[in-house]
């Protein structure tokens, strides 16, 4: 063993016994050998004399890399040696030892790759006879035949197959190789395939399967007549039908037949091919025992055949040919349905796509024939079978453990295409679809045990999914069999209703079709029952109970007035649910986003908040709910300072739940009702607000409680309208006292709501609270803005950025709602300068152009408010600040900056406001603004006098669009003139 062989063995050693450094040295040594000029002859020599597979592999790998990357540098003599040696090895010529072909598969595959690398560069121009020379050697037996198949497979993998991405050069070479094979030797290759299969079918089935699998790859691009003929097709059917000695060989024959079926052809030729195949001969294989392993291949063949027949139907114009296509489809579809209903096959998704295409085609064949109606029914059976859960996961899905969640997610994704297919069927054959679902539901109902969970869930899911394809009118009137179906649904209690999946899909389905109740009010009692009994809100599974609360709220929203006669009955069934919501045990349950259980209070609020409810009863209903909740809050606040940490957290959690409940309850009451027609109701909510504000006193600085109380105040603003204003000073004072500076965003949003709703009515409140707000915010936000680079944005910076954005909105809302006097009131004017400096800096420099736009709009409004007369000094210094600082820096210098991109939509919006600002300043300040803007701004920017004169004319005119267009042109001219050399600030 020489040093190279030792190095190769060390490099490939996987035992772990070799030192890492030694392996590294061995790898370097072998890599250095690859760079030597003699490496080609060295590899050939080792291939011919070494019995070590590691050495053989390294030599073949090196030759492969050499040919692929340095073919042009290899000498003609070396190419001849490589070509001759490799070919003699693959053909088992007498002058070479046999050890390489006796080696493992990976050696033979690498050998095939080397040969294909040569073919890439040399066939057919240099080495034109490679395939013709190979064929005579096939008589040597299975070693050479196997190698021939590996070469063909490698040719497909490395060059021809479009399953892999190819470069333009590779595509060109592939066309060259295929054209040469077609012209020169393809018929000889096909004859060899036939002879080998015929000869070895009984003695070496594995070899025959290899040949067929190799042949399958080539059918798509060789002349189909070479395979589709009176010789080869009978051989394939013989292997498929008479029964090959092995499933492997039979499966390979089926896959070859599928390749023939899938061959791209003109539709008329394809139809003739499909007709002559007499595919019905294969149908019996589906039902025969012992063929389970072949089902995936048979399924692929039959579905592929059906796809091609359907394609012929779509593409052919002749009515006679269309009829033949449909006959072929009608013939094959029962077997396709049988496979889908009785076997799990990988081809299911493709079959579903085909069935969708088939059903869509039926749209043009109305009225449907009996055969087509039968097929539609079978498609529905397939859908129902495929959407059913596996009973193996029943317990996992009921308790929703990790396995259950994964299975539900998988099925949810898997069902999407099947439900699309269902809806297509429902539109094409609505009566057939509804009858099938009715029968499926009836079958599920007839089973008295709870063992048919999956059957019930599947039937209900079909009915639910069907609703997406029905119009609101169809649901409302119960067209077709829908009325019967829905009455059956509403009146049924399934034995397996305790199962989570069944309970959920049942409630979802009832909710989807609840519009039917609008015209069938006699059904209201039976539609309420599943929501109010153990099937819904009282279901033992809390996730079902919470979902039922949400769905019940949706039902109430829809039916609303029609439920007034049933309010008492509904409320009588809910006291335990209402009480449970505000218990410690409930708050420890995992809450899932929007389905936190509070929707039951929203539903109650919607019911009792209607004006159709008599005033006395309405007051009684609301009092019976609010009073206990408020009393519970007061009880939880008592002696709070004596509690342990755990007890405090438990009470806080319950108080949160109560505030959520009251908040949700109030959503059902309109402002008009509680302030105008029934003020007593409004007084109840005001008293509740007093109680909840006390929460902030007892539990200060608890962010979750602050958020809940703030949310309730938002709600009361909408519900109580202006009558809430007297309560606001106290509420805002307590909220502000407990709010950290960085948490001010929520507080500002509340102020924004108040300003937008009440405008000048909250001026006094705003003047009182603004100093504290400004002081807190400016303590954490610098006037020059915040860092915006990706490297500097931490979670803390993100919070401050959000606060800053909310602050800009707050200042904008104040200004645009006739409240700019707040800034200059005695208590607030001390903050005028920092506010102006922040707005000015941001109007010129902020990275967010929409924020810059808001700042410019604020200055426009302040100019109008504070400078009503040309020389008015309502705010001392503001006039000169706007003319001398804001105008030149924001309206000129910031626009000249290259970052101001006129191609950006937001930038153009900002630019429009900047132009409006100039027009407003001219209207208010006249020549004082114009002279300063021209003499100080334009002169620094070296604006030509002619352009400055035109600007004056445009500004003094009344056409704002013309001014905007001219000013943009002026800025672009100035940019070109400066060529980036002038820096403004």
pLDDT of residue 985: 34
Confidence of residue 637 (pLDDT cuts 50, 70, 90): very high
User: How far apart are alpha carbons 174 and 155 in whole angstroms?
Assistant: 9
Asked whether residue 854 carries a pLDDT value surpassing 90, the answer given is yes
Is the pLDDT score of 90 beyond 90? yes
Residues in the chain: 985
Contacts of 100 (CB under 8 A, 6+ apart): 47, 56, 89, 107, 108, 111
The structure tokens listed for 880 are 């000169």
Q: Within 13 Å and on the Cβ side, how many CA atoms surround 403?
A: 9
For the ranges 179-183, 781-785, 846-850, the lowest mean pLDDT is seen at 781-785
Judged against a pLDDT cut of 80, whether residue 978 lies above it is answered with no
Task: Please compute the mean of the pLDDT values over residues 355-381 and round it to a whole number.
Answer: 90
DSSP code at position 107: H
pLDDT(500) > 80: yes
Answer for the pair 221, 181: CB distance below 8 angstroms, yes or no: no
3-class secondary structure, 93: coil
Residues 949 and 701: their CA atoms lie apart, in Å, by 61
- Taking only the tens place, the pLDDT of each residue in 585-600 is 666 665 555 667 789 9
Least confident range of 38-52, 681-695, 753-767: 38-52
Q: 477, 455 in Cβ contact below 8 A? A: no
How far apart, in whole angstroms, are the C-alpha atoms of residue 38 and residue 41?
6
In angstroms, rounded to a whole number, what is the distance separating the alpha carbons of residues 651 and 636?
6
Q: Which two tokens stand for residue 602?
A: 């929203």
Do residues 90 and 151 make contact, with C-beta atoms less than 8 angstroms apart? yes
Q: What's the CA gap between 382 and 359, in Å, rounded?
A: 13
Of 155-169, 444-458, 714-728, 805-819, the one with minimum mean pLDDT is 444-458
Q: What percent of the chain has pLDDT over 70?
A: 95
Residue 448: is its pLDDT beyond 90?
no
Alpha-carbon gap, residue 32 to 22, rounded angstroms: 15
Question: Average of pLDDT values for 140-150?
Answer: 95
Query: What is the arithmetic mean of pLDDT over 329-352?
Result: 81
Contact 853, 794 (CB under 8 A): no
Instruction: Give 356 or 584, the one with higher predicted confidence.
Output: 356
* Higher local confidence (pLDDT), 212 or 364: 212
pLDDT over threshold 90, residue 703 = no
Q: What is the pLDDT of residue 2?
A: 85
Q: Residue with structure tokens 């100019």?
A: 863
pLDDT band at 96 (very low <50, low <70, confident <90, very high): low
pLDDT at 21 over 80: yes
φ, ψ (nearest 5 deg) of residue 854: -60, -40
Average pLDDT for the chain: 90
| Three-state SS at 708 | helix
**pLDDT at residue 982 in the model:** 42
Measured CA to CA in angstroms, residue 23 lies from 10, 784, 962 at distances of 6, 60, 77
How large is the average pLDDT for residues 157-182?
94
The whole-angstrom separation of Cα 200 and Cα 276 is: 27
Summarize pLDDT for 656-687 with one digit per residue, the tens: 999 999 999 999 999 999 999 999 999 999 99
**Cβ pair 493, 535 in contact under 8 A:** yes
In this structure, of 18-22, 132-136, 669-673, 912-916, the range with the lowest mean pLDDT score is 18-22
Per-residue confidence at 18, pLDDT binned at 50, 70, 90? confident
Q: Please compute the mean of the pLDDT values over residues 887-904 and round it to a whole number.
A: 92
pLDDT tens digit sequence for 449-484: 667 899 999 999 999 999 988 889 999 998 888 999
CA distance 419 to 462: 8
Q: Is 592 helix (H, G, I), strand (E, B) or coil?
A: strand
Predicted local distance difference test score (pLDDT) of residue 246: 82
Q: Name the range with the highest mean pLDDT among 298-302, 364-368, 871-875.
A: 298-302
Is the bond preceding residue 367 a cis peptide, omega within 30 degrees?
yes
Is residue 625 predicted with pLDDT exceeding 50?
Answer: yes
262 pLDDT exceeds 60? yes
What is the structure's pLDDT at 49? 86
Q: Crossing angle for the helix pair 763-778 and 728-737, nearest 10 degrees?
A: 10
Model confidence at 874: pLDDT above 60 = yes
Q: How far apart are CA 886 and CA 229, in angstroms?
A: 88
Q: Which single residue is written with the structure tokens 């392996």?
A: 23
Q: Is the Cβ–Cβ distance between 665 and 605 less than 8 Å? A: yes
Q: Decide if pLDDT at 984 tops 50.
A: no
Predicted local confidence at residue 592, as pLDDT: 52
Q: What is the pLDDT of residue 789?
A: 52
- Residue 349: pLDDT above 70? no
- The answer to whether the beta carbons of residues 787 and 793 sit under 8 Å apart is yes
Average pLDDT over residues 312-319: 92
Whole-number pLDDT of residue 781: 82
Residue 237: its pLDDT value, please? Answer: 94
Predicted confidence band of residue 931 (pLDDT cuts 50, 70, 90): very high
pLDDT digits (tens, 9 = 90+) for 270-289: 999 999 999 999 998 888 77
Q: 397-413 pLDDT, tens per residue?
A: 998 899 999 999 999 99
pLDDT over 90 (residue 183): yes
Rounded average pLDDT over 692-716: 91
What mean pLDDT is predicted for residues 52-72?
Answer: 93
Residue 557 to residue 571: CA distance in whole angstroms: 16
What's the rounded mean pLDDT across residues 641-668?
92
Q: How confident is the model at residue 983 (pLDDT cuts 50, 70, 90)?
A: very low
Work out whether the CA dihedral 246, 247, 251, 254 comes out positive or negative. Answer: positive
């Amino acid at each position: 063993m020489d040093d190279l062989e030792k190095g190769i063995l060390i490099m490939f050693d996987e035992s772990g016994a070799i030192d890492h450094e030694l392996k590294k040295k061995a790898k370097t040594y072998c890599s250095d050998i690859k760079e030597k000029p003699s490496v080609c002859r060295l590899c050939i020599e080792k291939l011919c004399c070494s019995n070590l597979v590691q050495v053989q592999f390294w030599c073949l790998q090196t030759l492969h890399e050499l040919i692929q990357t340095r073919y042009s540098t290899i000498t003609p003599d070396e190419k001849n040696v490589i070509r001759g040696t490799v070919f003699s090895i693959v053909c088992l010529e007498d002058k070479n030892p046999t050890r390489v072909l006796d080696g493992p598969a990976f050696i033979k595959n690498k050998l095939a790759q080397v040969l294909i690398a040569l073919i890439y560069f040399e066939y057919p121009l240099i080495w034109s006879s490679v395939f013709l020379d190979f064929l005579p050697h096939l008589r040597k037996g299975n070693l050479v035949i196997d190698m021939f198949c590996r070469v063909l497979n490698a040719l497909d993998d490395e060059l021809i197959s479009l399953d892999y991405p190819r470069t333009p050069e590779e595509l060109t070479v592939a066309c060259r190789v295929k054209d040469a094979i077609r012209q020169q030797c393809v018929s000889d290759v096909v004859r060899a395939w036939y002879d080998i299969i015929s000869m070895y079918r009984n003695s070496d089935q594995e070899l025959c399967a290899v040949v067929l699998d190799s042949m399958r790859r080539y059918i798509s691009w060789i002349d189909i007549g070479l395979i589709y003929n009176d010789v080869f097709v009978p051989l394939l059917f013989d292997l498929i039908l008479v029964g090959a000695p092995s499933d492997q060989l039979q499966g390979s024959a089926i896959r070859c037949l599928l390749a023939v079926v899938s061959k791209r052809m003109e539709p008329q030729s394809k139809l003739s091919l499909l007709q002559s195949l007499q595919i019905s001969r294969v149908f019996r294989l589906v039902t025969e025992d012992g063929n389970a392993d072949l089902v995936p291949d048979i399924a692929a063949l039959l579905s592929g055949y059906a796809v091609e027949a359907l394609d012929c139907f779509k593409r052919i114009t002749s009515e006679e040919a269309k009829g033949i296509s449909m006959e072929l489809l009608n013939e094959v579809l029962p077997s396709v349905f049988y496979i889908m209903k009785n076997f799990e096959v990988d081809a299911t998704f493709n079959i579903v796509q085909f069935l969708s295409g088939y059903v869509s085609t039926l749209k043009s064949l109305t009225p449907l024939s009996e055969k087509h109606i039968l097929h539609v029914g079978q498609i529905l059976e397939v859908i129902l079978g495929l959407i059913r859960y596996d009973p193996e996961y029943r317990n996992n899905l009921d308790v929703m453990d990790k396995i259950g969640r994964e299975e539900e997610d998988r099925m949810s994704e898997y069902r999407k295409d099947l439900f699309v297919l269902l809806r297509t069927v429902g539109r094409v054959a609505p009566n057939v679809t509804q009858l099938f679902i009715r029968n499926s539901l009836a079958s599920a109902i007839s089973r008295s045990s709870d063992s048919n969970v999956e059957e019930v869930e599947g039937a209900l899911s079909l009915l639910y999914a069907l609703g997406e394809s029905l119009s609101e009118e169809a649901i409302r009137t119960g067209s077709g069999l829908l009325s019967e179906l829905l009455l059956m649904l509403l009146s049924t209690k399934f034995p397996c209703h305790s199962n989570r999946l069944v309970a959920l899909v049942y409630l979802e389905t009832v909710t989807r079709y609840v519009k039917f109740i609008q015209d069938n009010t006699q059904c209201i009692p039976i539609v309420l029952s599943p929501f109010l009994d153990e099937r819904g809100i009282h279901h033992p599974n809390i996730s079902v109970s919470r979902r039922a609360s949400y769905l019940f709220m949706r039902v109430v929203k829809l039916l609303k007035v029609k439920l007034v006669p049933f309010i008492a009955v509904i409320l009588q069934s809910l006291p335990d649910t209402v009480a449970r919501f505000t218990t410690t045990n409930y708050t420890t349950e995992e809450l899932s986003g929007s389905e936190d259980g509070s929707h039951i209070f929203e539903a109650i609020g919607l019911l009792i908040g209607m004006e159709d409810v008599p005033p006395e009863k309405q007051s009684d209903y609301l009092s019976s709910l609010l009073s206990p909740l408020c009393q519970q809050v007061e009880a939880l606040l008592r002696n709070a300072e004596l509690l342990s940490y755990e007890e405090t957290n438990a009470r806080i959690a319950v108080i949160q739940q109560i505030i959520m409940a009251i908040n949700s309850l109030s959503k059902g009451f309109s402002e008009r009702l509680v302030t105008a027609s029934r003020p007593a109701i409004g007084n109840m909510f005001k008293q509740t607000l007093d109680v909840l504000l006390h929460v902030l006193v007892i539990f200060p600085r608890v962010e979750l409680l602050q958020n809940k109380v703030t949310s309730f105040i938002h709600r009361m603003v909408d519900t109580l309208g202006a009558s809430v204003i007297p309560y606001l000073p106290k509420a805002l004072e307590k909220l502000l006292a407990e709010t950290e500076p960085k948490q001010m965003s929520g507080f500002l949003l509340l102020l924004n709501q108040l300003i937008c709703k009440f405008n000048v009515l909250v001026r006094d409140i705003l003047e009182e609270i603004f100093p504290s707000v400004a002081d807190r915010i400016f303590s954490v936000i610098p006037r020059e803005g915040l860092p915006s680079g990706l490297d500097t944005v931490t979670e803390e910076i993100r919070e401050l950025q959000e606060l800053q954005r909310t602050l800009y909105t707050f200042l904008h809302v104040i200004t645009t709602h006739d409240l700019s006097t707040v800034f200059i009131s005695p208590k607030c004017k001390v903050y005028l300068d920092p506010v102006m400096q922040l707005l000015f800096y941001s109007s010129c420099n902020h990275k967010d152009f929409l924020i810059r736009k808001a700042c410019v709009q604020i200055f426009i409004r302040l100019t109008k408010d504070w400078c009503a007369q040309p020389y008015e000094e309502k705010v001392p210094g503001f006039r000169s600040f706007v003319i001398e600082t804001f105008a030149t820096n924001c309206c000129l210098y910031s626009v000249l900056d290259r970052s101001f991109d006129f191609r950006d939509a937001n930038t153009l919006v900002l630019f429009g406001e900047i132009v409006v600002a100039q027009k407003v300043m001219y209207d208010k300040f006249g020549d004082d603004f114009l002279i300063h803007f021209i003499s100080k701004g334009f002169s620094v920017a070296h604006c030509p006098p002619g352009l400055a004169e035109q600007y004056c004319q445009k500004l003094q005119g009344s056409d704002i669009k013309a001014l905007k267009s001219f000013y943009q042109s002026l800025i672009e001219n100035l940019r070109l003139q400066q060529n980036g050399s002038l820096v403004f600030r």
